Chains A and B, each alone.
Chain A
Amino acid sequence: MTNSHAVRIQNMDKYYGTFHALKGIDLSVAQGEKVVVCGPSGSGKSTLIRCINRLEEYHAGSINVFGTELDDNLDNIDEIRRETGMVFQHFNLFPHMTILENCTLAPMLVRKQSRAEAEEIAMEYLHKVKIPEQADKFPGQLSGGQQQRVAIARALCMKPKIMLFDEPTSALDPEMIAEVLDVMVKLADEGMTMICVTHEMGFARQVADRVVFMSDGEVVEQADPKTFFNAPQQERTKAFLGQILGH
């Protein structure tokens, strides 16, 4: 088995009770590749990326992340979560800790870094997301855009091999979307492997190597952005693009 893929999902099924949420998903993401997942709400995009780090359980098929099989072995789950960073729609910063503590907690506990080492790395990433001066504040004192940038920095502090973004800009006021997307573009330029669930089609055009369109729990179509936006093949894709682009 080669390790050139970052994530390989094969024939994966997921149910909520009797509801068939994901149907026979096949999806591979190469190292360094940036994949944007889009589709109407309820199509299973979030569920799909939450399966990759086992925030959701899947029921059939297989998922392999950087050569580690995501099965019921708890060690494997821990291993995959250590190497996978995730950014959530609602930031999910820890409100009882300062920004710096948010960023150093997991590296100290999970990576066993010393406090000094963890703080140095944290400040480096806070610089990168352009809010080092907020390090001693609490999340509640920051704007939504700032909080989301901290959440990105927090995930990066674990030095993940892949970043999962679950609608990172959907809960933001419009004027704050750009500052978060800027950080994500920079991250992409540096070669990070990324899977982004987003409705930001500008970001998809600019950054994505591939756009994956999902509907009703299935991958309907995937293509490079140019082909995807200019010459979609499937009816459902055309209808979706018509709705979000064709005002």
Chain B
Amino acid sequence: MAKTYHPPSVIEAIRADYFSTRLNSVVTVTFATFVAWAIWQLVNWGLINATFSEENKDACGHGAGGACWAVIDARWRLVLFGLYPFEEQWRSGIACVAIVITGILSCVPWFWNARRLSGLWVGGFLVFYILMRGGILGLTPVFEQNWGGLSLTIFIFATTTLLGMPLAIVFALLRRSELPWIARTMGVVIDTIRSLPLLSIMFTFAIVLPFVLPGWMIGDKLYRVIVGYALFFACYQAEIIRGGMQALSPGQEEAAKALGMGYWHRIGYIVLPQAFRNALPPTINQLVITFKETSLVVIIGFFEILASGNAAYGNADWNFAHVEVYCFVGFIYFIFVFALSRYGAHLERRMAVAQR
């Protein structure tokens, strides 16, 4: 008899995908049971048996078997704002929101030209700096060593990438120079910096550099660390961009040359736009890594969000609640990193349409 096609029902599809052989059935049942058990445990711990408000704090921790979210209720301001003076923390909050909005706006295609993008970020950083640092407009000055928490994390991330990205482009172009001695020197610089641990670079910029630099160049420790971090970022990102450039056929630059376009026009309109498209997945990857490694500034005494989290459970009242604090901090990291990778995926789809 000839076969006829009819679309499979849901049950048939499930049976075909998960219960097609005896072994498949066993594997399916085993894993389903495990996942159900894990979810149940998690819900039980995080929601059903959990304590949410600070008033019920006594129920926490001592054999109740649930999460003690009371610690977040009591200490969230320390986690988000670090050592920033308590009564001024609204400033840190608004500054943080300002930078996040600036970041979101710069994902909108309308802002994608040099003038708009630079105007946006200069404005964003100005708002951030005035709010955080104070000292004018009747705001009490708050020095950089007291900045902390989420706004510090985001500030370090934003400045590092904004400083590092143009630097990475310059490095990549130098590395690709037609003059061998420039290309080779740049190669050695990049490889050297990449072979050093980030921690040692941060230490060098924070602690050693002041002995070497003239007084007017020293600046606050925070900015020196950011410059060091940006340099580190630029070396990795330069190799990513160079990879994107190598995927271009030589014909692209030749066509631009044949049309009479000069070097900077060729780079700006033909090479870099395509190189960034090719290099988008590893670029997003690098941004995610950079965001998470901001936590290393704790070693030179800055209370970014992870260090603030440590401080939040670090007293006699709350020292049992470290898991809850880490869950909270982890959740904040997750929001940012997940948003970043979703945006990367969106860009890839957008470009796939253009490049088909």
Chain A interface residues (CB < 8 Å from chain B): 53-55, 78, 81-82, 84-86, 88, 90, 92-96, 105-106, 109-110, 138, 140-141, 151, 154-155, 158
A54, A90, A106, A141: the one within 8 Å of B259 (CB): A106
A90 touches B249 (CB 8 A): yes
For residue A18, give the distance in angstroms from its CB to the closest CB of chain B. Answer: 19
A81 touches B258 (CB 8 A): yes
CA A93 – CA B256 in complex, angstroms?
A: 9
B75 at the A interface (CB under 8 A): no
Name the CB-closest residue of A to B354: A138
A158 touches B259 (CB 8 A): yes
What is the number of contacts between chain A and chain B, taking CB atoms within 8 Å? 70
B254 at the A interface (CB under 8 A): yes
For residue A156, give the distance in angstroms from its CB to the closest CB of chain B. Answer: 11
CA A92 – CA B254 in complex, angstroms?
A: 8
A140 touches B355 (CB 8 A): yes
Residues of chain A contacted by B342 (CB below 8 angstroms): none
Q: Mark B241-262, 1 if CB is under 8 A from A, else 0.
A: 0000000010110111111111
Residues of chain A contacted by B254 (CB below 8 angstroms): 55, 88, 92
For residue B356, give the distance in angstroms from its CB to the closest CB of chain A. Answer: 5
A154 touches B251 (CB 8 A): no
Chain B interface residues (CB < 8 Å from chain A): 249, 251-252, 254-262, 265, 269-270, 273-274, 277, 351, 354-356
CA A154 – CA B261 in complex, angstroms?
A: 13
B260 touches A158 (CB 8 A): yes
A94 touches B257 (CB 8 A): no
CA A138 – CA B352 in complex, angstroms?
A: 11
Residues of chain A contacted by B269 (CB below 8 angstroms): 105, 109
B265 touches A109 (CB 8 A): yes
For residue A170, give the distance in angstroms from its CB to the closest CB of chain B. Answer: 14
With A109-B265, A109-B269, A141-B356 already in contact, the answer to whether A92 and B259 are too (CB < 8 A) is no
A78 touches B262 (CB 8 A): yes
With A90-B249, A109-B269 already in contact, the answer to whether A55 and B274 are too (CB < 8 A) is no
CA A88 – CA B258 in complex, angstroms?
A: 10
Name the CB-closest residue of B to A106: B259
For residue A146, give the distance in angstroms from its CB to the closest CB of chain B. Answer: 15
- Consensus secondary structure, chain B interface: helix
A94 touches B258 (CB 8 A): no
A54, A82, A92, A138: the one within 8 Å of B255 (CB): A92
A81 touches B355 (CB 8 A): no
B251, B261, B265, B354: the one within 8 Å of A96 (CB): B354
For residue A155, give the distance in angstroms from its CB to the closest CB of chain B. Answer: 7
Residues of chain A contacted by B256 (CB below 8 angstroms): 94, 106
For residue B269, give the distance in angstroms from its CB to the closest CB of chain A. Answer: 6
Residues of chain A contacted by B273 (CB below 8 angstroms): 96
B355 touches A85 (CB 8 A): no
CA A158 – CA B255 in complex, angstroms?
A: 13
B258, B259, B261, B355: the one within 8 Å of A95 (CB): B355
Residues of chain B contacted by A96 (CB below 8 angstroms): 273-274, 277, 351, 354-355
Residues of chain A contacted by B277 (CB below 8 angstroms): 96
Name the CB-closest residue of B to A74: B262
CA A155 – CA B258 in complex, angstroms?
A: 9
Residues of chain B contacted by A109 (CB below 8 angstroms): 261, 265, 269
Residues of chain B contacted by A53 (CB below 8 angstroms): 257-258
CA A138 – CA B353 in complex, angstroms?
A: 9
For residue B138, give the distance in angstroms from its CB to the closest CB of chain A. Answer: 47
B355 touches A86 (CB 8 A): no
CA A1 – CA B305 in complex, angstroms?
A: 75
B270 touches A94 (CB 8 A): yes
For residue B66, give the distance in angstroms from its CB to the closest CB of chain A. Answer: 54
Residues of chain B contacted by A141 (CB below 8 angstroms): 356
Residues of chain B contacted by A110 (CB below 8 angstroms): 259-262, 265
Residues of chain A contacted by B351 (CB below 8 angstroms): 96
B258 touches A86 (CB 8 A): yes
Cβ contacts A to B, 5 pairs, < 8 Å = A54-B257, A88-B258, A90-B251, A138-B354, A158-B260
Residues of chain B contacted by A106 (CB below 8 angstroms): 256, 259-261
List 9 A-B pairs, minimum CB-CB distance, nearest first.
A92-B255, A106-B259, A86-B258, A92-B251, A82-B260, A81-B260, A110-B260, A140-B356, A109-B265
For residue A94, give the distance in angstroms from its CB to the closest CB of chain B. Answer: 6
Residues of chain B contacted by A158 (CB below 8 angstroms): 259-260
For residue B106, give the distance in angstroms from its CB to the closest CB of chain A. Answer: 20
For residue B169, give the distance in angstroms from its CB to the closest CB of chain A. Answer: 17
Residues of chain B contacted by A90 (CB below 8 angstroms): 249, 251
CA A85 – CA B260 in complex, angstroms?
A: 9
Residues of chain A contacted by B274 (CB below 8 angstroms): 94-96
Name the CB-closest residue of B to A109: B265
B259 touches A138 (CB 8 A): no
For residue A245, give the distance in angstroms from its CB to the closest CB of chain B. Answer: 31
A92, A138, A140, A155: the one within 8 Å of B249 (CB): A92
Name the CB-closest residue of B to A138: B354
Residues of chain A contacted by B255 (CB below 8 angstroms): 86, 88, 92-94, 151
CA A96 – CA B354 in complex, angstroms?
A: 6
Most buried by A among B259, B261, B265, B277: B259
B356 touches A81 (CB 8 A): no
Residues of chain B contacted by A82 (CB below 8 angstroms): 260
Name the CB-closest residue of B to A85: B258
A154 touches B249 (CB 8 A): no
Residues of chain A contacted by B249 (CB below 8 angstroms): 90, 92
